[in-house]
């Protein structure tokens, strides 16, 4: 039978597929894992120190401290600031749960602020209005891989005399002008969860800072506050990163910039394809702010009838996700904060309308085109 009589293979587009990346690094990653196994040094040690040096240099900070997860990076940074009951930390109502969860776990109160409808990041004027005498820190989130408005937020924090802890979990390598995510506040908190742009083979995270005393406190807290084994200066936790994760991350880190470039290329290609398909008026695409370098951990669009569109895309083998369907102020576990629906309308609209499309660098042009034609069909089906 001739090739022309074969049916065209159906295009499928998972939301994320790390198998191509794995093929690229397989030999090096397995060699690194073997090196750790041969050394039998699994906790901290030379692999972790090497990773910390590499990433401090790449991010442009004096200190990078490997920790057990992005969640623990946020928690240990707040603990190192001595934040606890009676304190307030101002943050966005629209982020991954760990942002607000880490604040509550210290005993402090998260003071929530609405987002900008275009960038999905904290509104600096909202932060200024939320300051009180109990404010001990401001925690901006660089959502989806684009930095918050750090120029204005730095001014608000400086006027109030409070430190900023950046939730940079989604934003490694992202920049505003020449400043990298995680180098603008007192502390930067990163996640190496496998779906982040720099993902480990399990859970891992990082705290960055230029402040020597703060770095020392984070290092102490990471190992139960012990300076010498069994002599505890502070009450910390087990917030250590594994040597295996560090070894894998050292293989991946040098490739991060080119992987993020692939995501940026796909974002540009989507813009072109959505425009060519005449969909740019029906689908709101993400905007890279002036002076910003977006690393597209997520490519998040807005559509009416989002849940119907999501289901139609799934029928066409296009994987999508909703980040996030419920803002913090409407979460059941935060009911005691006393918020009500309608209080933060921009976050509530984003929770209803946003949808993340596949964006990883290894997507083929056929896959990108399939996403856009599927979106056109889904919009027609939904009558929007």
- If the CB atoms of residues 253 and 277 are measured against ligand PLP, the closer one turns out to be 253
- If the CB atoms of residues 98 and 184 are measured against ligand PLP, the closer one turns out to be 98
- If the CB atoms of residues 70 and 185 are measured against ligand PLP, the closer one turns out to be 70
- 94, 120, 193, 328: which one contacts ligand PLP (CB under 6 A)? 193
Site for ligand PLP in 248-277 (CB under 6 A): none
- 21, 92, 93, 99: which one contacts ligand PLP (CB under 6 A)? 99
CB of 1 to ligand PLP, least distance (A): 49
Q: Closest Cα to residue 78, out of 166, 7, 149, 198?
A: 166
Q: Residue 191 interacts with ligand PLP (CB under 6 A)?
A: yes
| φ/ψ (deg, to 5) at 357 | -100, 160
Contact 203, 193 (CB under 8 A): yes
- 169, 184, 187, 368: which one contacts ligand PLP (CB under 6 A)? 169
SS3 332: helix
Q: Residue 242 interacts with ligand PLP (CB under 6 A)?
A: no
* Residue nearest ligand PLP (C-beta atom): 70
Q: Residue 141 interacts with ligand PLP (CB under 6 A)?
A: yes
CA atoms within 13 A on the CB side of 59: 29
Q: Residue 167 interacts with ligand PLP (CB under 6 A)?
A: yes
Burial class (CB in 10 A: 0-12, 13-18, 19+), 5: exposed
Q: Residue 203 interacts with ligand PLP (CB under 6 A)?
A: yes
CB-based contacts of 43: which residues, under 8 Å, 6+ apart? Answer: 240, 242, 243
- If the CB atoms of residues 138 and 273 are measured against ligand PLP, the closer one turns out to be 138
Q: Which residues pair with 190 in a beta bridge?
A: 206
- If the CB atoms of residues 116 and 167 are measured against ligand PLP, the closer one turns out to be 167
Cis status of the peptide bond prior to 324, with omega within 30 of 0? yes
Query: Taking contact as CB under 6 A, which single stretch among the options 80-88, 90-98, 333-341, 356-364 is the one that binds ligand PLP?
Result: 90-98
CA distance 359 to 357: 6
Site pattern 54..73 for ligand PLP (x: CB under 6 A): ---------------xxx--
Query: Taking contact as CB under 6 A, which single stretch among the options 36-44, 163-171, 180-188, 299-307 is the one that binds ligand PLP?
Result: 163-171
Tell which phi-psi region holds residue 139, choosing left (phi > 0), alpha (psi between -120 and 50) or beta.
Answer: beta
Q: Residue 170 interacts with ligand PLP (CB under 6 A)?
A: yes
Q: Residue 146 interacts with ligand PLP (CB under 6 A)?
A: no
Angle of helix 98-105 relative to helix 70-80, nearest 10 degrees, comes to 40
Q: Closest Cα to residue 103, out of 134, 59, 129?
A: 134
Taken as a whole, the chain contains a residue count of: 384
- If the CB atoms of residues 169 and 198 are measured against ligand PLP, the closer one turns out to be 169
Ranges of beta strands (E only) in the chain are: 63-67, 88-92, 109-113, 135-139, 165-167, 175-176, 179-180, 187-191, 205-209, 226-228, 231-232, 292-293, 299-302, 354-357
CB of 230 to ligand PLP, least distance (A): 28
- 163, 185, 205, 361: which one contacts ligand PLP (CB under 6 A)? 205
- If the CB atoms of residues 274 and 328 are measured against ligand PLP, the closer one turns out to be 328
CB of 305 to ligand PLP, least distance (A): 26
Q: Residue 98 interacts with ligand PLP (CB under 6 A)?
A: yes
Task: Please give the residue ranges that form the binding site for ligand PLP (CB under 6 A).
Answer: 69-71, 95-96, 98-99, 141, 167, 169-170, 191, 193, 203, 205
């Amino acid at each position: 039978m001739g090739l022309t009589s074969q049916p065209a293979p159906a295009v499928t587009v998972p939301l994320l597929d790390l198998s191509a990346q794995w093929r690229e690094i397989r030999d090096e990653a397995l060699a690194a894992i073997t090196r750790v196994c041969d050394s039998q040094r699994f906790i901290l040690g030379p692999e972790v120190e090497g990773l910390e040096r590499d990433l401090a240099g790449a991010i442009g900070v004096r200190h990078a401290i490997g920790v057990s997860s992005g969640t623990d990076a946020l928690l240990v940074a707040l603990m190192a600031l001595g934040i606890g009951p009676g304190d307030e930390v101002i943050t966005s109502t629209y982020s991954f749960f760990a942002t607000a969860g880490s604040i509550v776990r210290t005993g402090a109160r998260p003071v929530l602020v609405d987002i900008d409808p275009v960038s999905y990041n904290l509104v600096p004027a909202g932060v200024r209005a939320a300051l009180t005498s109990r404010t001990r820190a401001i925690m901006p989130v660089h959502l989806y891989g684009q930095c918050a408005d750090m120029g204005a937020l730095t001014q608000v924090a400086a006027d109030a005399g409070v430190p900023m802890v950046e939730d940079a979990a989604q934003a490694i390598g992202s920049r505003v002008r020449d400043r990298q995510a995680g180098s603008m506040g007192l502390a930067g908190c990163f996640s190496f969860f496998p779906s982040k742009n720099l993902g480990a083979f399990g859970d891992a995270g990082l705290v960055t800072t230029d402040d020597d005393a703060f770095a020392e406190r984070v290092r102490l807290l990471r190992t139960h506050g012990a300076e010498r084994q069994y002599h505890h200066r502070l009450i910390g936790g087990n917030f250590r990163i594994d040597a295996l994760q560090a070894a894998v991350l050292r293989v991946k880190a040098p490739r991060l910039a080119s992987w993020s470039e692939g995501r940026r290329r796909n974002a540009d290609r989507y813009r072109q394809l959505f425009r060519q398909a005449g969909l740019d008026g029906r689908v709101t695409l993400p905007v890279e702010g002036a002076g910003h370098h977006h690393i597209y951990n997520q490519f998040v669009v807005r559509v009416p009838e989002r849940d119907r569109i999501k289901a139609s895309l799934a029928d066409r083998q296009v994987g999508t996700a909703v980040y996030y369907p419920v803002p913090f102020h409407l979460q059941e576990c935060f009911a005691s904060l006393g918020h009500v629906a309608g209080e933060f309308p921009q976050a509530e609209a984003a929770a209803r309308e946003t949808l993340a499309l596949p964006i990883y660098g290894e997507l083929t042009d056929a896959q990108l085109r399939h996403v856009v034609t599927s979106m056109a069909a889904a919009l027609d089906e939904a009558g929007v």
